[in-house]
Amino acid sequence: MKYIFLWCMLSSCIQLSACDLCGGVGSNASIGIFASNQFHLVGWRQSFRLFDSYLYGIKHSSEAIWMSDLNFRTQLSKRVQVYGTIPVQMARQKTDFTTTNVSGFADPNLLLTYSLMDQKDSMGVTRDFLNIGFGAKFPCGKFLSHQHELKNLAPGTGSFDGLILANYTHRFQYGWSLQGEGSYSLKGSDREGFRFGNATQFSSSMIYNRKIQGYRLIASLGLQGDAYQASRLNGEQVVGQTNRGYILAMKASVNLLTNRFLFSAQVQAPIKQELNQGSIQQKMVFGLSLNYLIQKKQHEKNSL
């Protein structure tokens, strides 16, 4: 365990979650940090997001989105990792008169990352770590027609999307680290020619890592910004359904790492936002995850 120095928010598994009310599966992607090469991983993650919708400045509905997913990470070589996620989503819209639910399997995704830098100090602890990744989201989940008023609440987008990301961490003294991450999501079109706008995300976090009685406690605090381009239908911008906007949010997480498990809790609160011409307001975002670490056999470690 001495080689493990850092797990950040939603650590060590790709998070490619839907920002349904501001443009389908967006740029919310994170691979986290796992500088050691000693473990594979399987896990479960649950997220909960709240939104309010407005018409002419008057609130007319509230939306809640639950996302559960199974995820895995495997180390193909010393520098190459593969991440995958199979998500299930349930969404609810509540107005003064009706409550509507939309649920089903969401679009699975796969990510391949390569470690460009993994510099360790004399104690074998990673000091600088740089990862780049390329991934894809596959149109296997349930999606709705662009004419459906709840299309943004569907678990899938009906499109094949690409993802590019980079993740860098620098470790300071006394258990402190700084992480920066950026990603870009390139959206495809569904079979009706509807395409959610491309999305960009940047985030930065200060992370504190402390060993307590054989366990490792990691806490993070940072900022995250997401920007979404306009939706299009057959190449033309969709009037009244642009889904264009941005969110700047503060995020925090607490992670407990044991010999075999990683428990994580995270929260995100918007600081400033402008979504869908002000008609959407994102509220709090909550998440919980549990990951099981699978240690490699000795001959595997020696071969990497």
Residue 59 has pLDDT above 80, yes or no: yes
Q: Within 13 Å of residue 294, how many CA atoms lie on the same side as its CB?
A: 9
13 domain-assigned: no
pLDDT digits (tens, 9 = 90+) for 147-196: 888 888 888 889 999 999 998 989 898 889 999 999 999 999 999 999 98
Q: Residue 203 phi/psi, 5° resolution?
A: -145, 155
Does 6 map to a domain? no
Say if 186 falls within a structural domain: yes
Report if residue 82 sits inside a domain.
yes
291 belongs to a structural domain: yes
Range of the domain at 34: 19-303
Asked if residue 9 is part of any domain, the answer here is: no
Q: Is residue 46 part of a domain?
A: yes
8 Å CB contact between 31 and 165 = yes
pTM of structure: 0.84
**Nearest 5°: phi and psi at 19?**
-105, 70
Q: What percent of the chain lies above the pLDDT cut of 90?
A: 42
Tell me the per-residue pLDDT of 186-222, one tens digit each, with 9 for 90 and over.
999 999 999 988 989 999 999 998 988 888 899 999 9
- Number of structural domains (the chain) is 1
Spatial separation of the C-alpha atoms in residues 104 and 125, rounded to whole Å: 42
- Are 116 and 131 in contact by the 8 Å Cβ rule? The answer is yes
> Is 234 within a domain?
yes
